[in-house]
Amino acid sequence: MKKLVALFMCLVMCLSLFTFAGCDKKDDDIKVGAIYITSKDDTSGYTYAHHNGITTAMKNLGISTEDNLFIIDNVAEDYTAVTNAIDTLAGKGCDIIFGISFGYIDAMADAAEKEEYKDIIFSHGTGYKSNETNFNNYFGRIYQARYLSGIAAGLKSLELGNNNIGYVAAWGTEYAETCSGINAFALGAQAVNPNAEVHVKVISTWGDEALEKQAAELLVNTYNCGVITQHCDSAQPQMVAENATNVFGCGYNSDMTAQAPTSHLTAPVWNWYVYYQLAIETAMNKPADFMKTVGNYYGGLKEDFVDVSPLTANCSKGTAEMIKLARDLMVNGEWDVFSGVKLSFTESNGTYSVVKTNADLKDNAGNVIVAAGGASVEDSVIQGSMNYYVEGVTAE
């Protein structure tokens, strides 16, 4: 009897150990799904940046992208199309599914509530919806990087003697994501060129290469813009700058120097792997704690989640020094973009300094958004309700 009891206890312990070990997945067990708005083979732009982030994260974690990554690309922002993609990835056994486009939000939110998908983590790029168990959203303080790129653009506009800067935008004040980026860029440009005027051409879609090209050409040819920046998916605006005379540009999502080698200055970029590595590792090791550990993610310069791409030789003198000064203030938490404190820069014998001046932050109708010396607007405004342009921004 004692031997039988001992044997029984041994079996219970072994089963307990097996069950506990089963809570965590091994590197070769985790299956990652991703839904892309354009092709996974893009060589620049939005989808490229996300794909590079996911594959880099998986390689860092020692997970095979060939065997454990399942992608459905060219999925339109259509509820049925996204639902079908989710069902396919769930059928592949994916443990976590990333959807990278804003318009995927409703289909992903609904899928996360289905009983048969309760063990799948749904992670949605941008957006505002989530639940307490298996559905989050992730984005970052890209406005900080846009401010830095605005410095590069503003200095170039001074060098050119042309205060007109063009901005090809997917959307305008309809979305805080685009509006906050436009405003941050303008404030960065004005920090070095107080007379800078940012002309915004909205194309009303996140990505359409033909419209992106047309908008950039309009800004160059009609509004005499000497620098072109963008919040859209492809490198078309930078290629327009490249093919124009004495026009320069700041890209977005990825370093677009290869597409515009003689005109590109820098680009606000995402280090998406920072988030993807955290999300995949948590889904692999502690899936039940995903929302507690990861939650709705919003990283910035401090987390190395956003930054600007390496400055090119096309940049004006002092660009690197001024960007570093502004960047350090944001990383250290001493200052942020949408506050009642404006930055300017001085230079003496090759040494650059930053000057902070209390000043009202106003919209382009003259309304005070933040009083002089006031703290930056709240994250909820930057992410969800910023629906105004700051002074110096004009919608064309």
3-42 residue pLDDT tens: 444 444 444 444 443 333 334 555 568 999 999 999 999 9
Is residue 15 situated within a structural domain? no
Domain match, 134 and 148 both: no
Mean pLDDT of 206-233: 97
- Note whether residue 131 is domain-resident: yes
Structural element, H or E, at residue 327: helix 319-331
Please give the average per-residue pLDDT across 322-329, as a whole number.
98
Task: State whether 162 and 243 are in the same domain.
Answer: yes
Model confidence band, residue 127 (pLDDT cutoffs 50, 70, 90): confident
- Could you tell me which residues are beta bridge partners of residue 307? 269
Number of compact structural domains in the chain: 2
User: Across residues 193-220, what is the average pLDDT?
Assistant: 97
In a shared domain, residues 67 and 149: no
Please give the mean pLDDT across all residues of the chain.
Answer: 93
Q: What is the pLDDT, as a whole number, of residue 18?
A: 38
β-sheet bridge partners, residue 268: 308
pLDDT for position 5: 42
CATH at residue 39: 3.40.50.2300
Same domain, 113 and 160: no
Residue among 278, 312, 163, 149 nearest 226 (CA): 163
Q: Are residues 34 and 98 in the same domain?
A: yes
**CA–CA gap between residue 154 and residue 192 (Å, rounded):** 6
Are residues 228 and 157 part of one domain? yes
Alpha-carbon gap, residue 213 to 234, rounded angstroms: 9
**Rounded distance, CA 230 to CA 238, Å?**
8
Identify which of 214, 247, 246 has the alpha carbon closest to the alpha carbon of residue 232: 214
In this structure, the answer to whether residues 237 and 292 fall within a common structural domain is: no
pLDDT number for residue 194: 98
Arithmetic mean of pLDDT, 182-193 = 98
In terms of domains, do 209 and 70 share one?
no
Residue 4 in any domain: the answer is no
Structure tokens belonging to residue 252: 């977005």
pLDDT on residue 116: 97
Spatial neighbors of 267 by CB under 8 A, at least 6 apart, are 149, 250, 251, 252, 253, 254, 255, 256, 308, 309
CB contact burial 113-142 (16+ within 10 A = b; e otherwise):
eeeebeebbbbbbbbebbeeebbbbbbbbb
pLDDT for 207: 86
CA-closest candidate to residue 301, choices 192, 184, 126: 184
- Determine, yes or no, domain membership for 88: yes
Asked if residue 149 and residue 135 are part of one domain, the reply reads no
Tell me, yes or no, whether 352 and 236 share the same domain: yes
216 and 81 in a common domain: no
pTM: 0.87
How many CB atoms lie under 10 A from the CB of residue 64? 12
Residue-wise over 148-178: b if at least 16 C-beta within 10 A, else e? Answer: bbbbbbbbbbbbbebbbbbbbbbbbbebbbb
Tell me what the mean pLDDT of segment 207-215 comes to.
96
Give the rounded percent of residues in the chain with a pLDDT score beyond 70: 93
The answer to whether position 369 is within a domain reads yes
Does the structure show a pLDDT above 90 at 139? yes
Residue 257 lies in a domain: yes
pLDDT in tens, 49-105: 999 999 999 999 999 999 999 999 999 999 999 999 999 999 999 999 999 999 999
39 φ, ψ to 5°?
-75, 140
Structural domain range at position 49: 29-140+272-299
Please tell me whether residues 262 and 357 are part of one structural domain: yes
Does 74 map to a domain? yes
Residue 23 domain-assigned? no
